[in-house]
Amino acid sequence: MMNPILAIPFIISPIVCVVLGYLLTITNILPIPIGMQVPFGAPIFLSGLLQGSWKLGLIQLLMVPLSAAIYYPFVRILDKKNLELENQSEED
């Protein structure tokens, strides 16, 4: 990863999703996946359905905005930094 600012959510986001999925599985909110190898490129909700339950597909859909929320502050920081660089280059 060439951008250290975006490296942080790149590492944190999958960890949060895996831990949340694990916690929901051990508390029996989510069923245990059947272990079927889902075809590469299967859409998010469909891969959850193929793993055995609509609940798995739903949690996959909910993980997308969760990951976006994790990325959002870091993208804002990067945007602010690039805006400052752009304003500085316009002044020169």
47 located within any domain: yes
Where in the sequence is the domain holding 50, given as residue range(s)? 4-33+43-82
72 located within any domain: yes
28 located within any domain: yes
Within 27-53, residue ranges assigned H as helices are 44-50
91 located within any domain: no
Render each residue's pLDDT in the chain as its tens digit; 92 residues.
588 999 999 999 999 999 999 999 999 999 998 888 888 888 999 999 999 889 999 999 999 999 999 999 999 999 999 999 999 988 87
15 located within any domain: yes
Please check whether residue 75 is in contact with residue 6, taking contact to mean a CB–CB distance below 8 angstroms. yes
89 located within any domain: no
Torsion of CA 40, 33, 68, 81, to 10 degrees: -70
Please check whether residue 73 is in contact with residue 15, taking contact to mean a CB–CB distance below 8 angstroms. no
38 located within any domain: no
Question: Among 14, 17, 49, which Cα is nearest to 34's?
Answer: 49
**Taking the complete model, does pTM exceed 0.75, yes or no?**
yes
24 located within any domain: yes
The domain total for the chain is 1
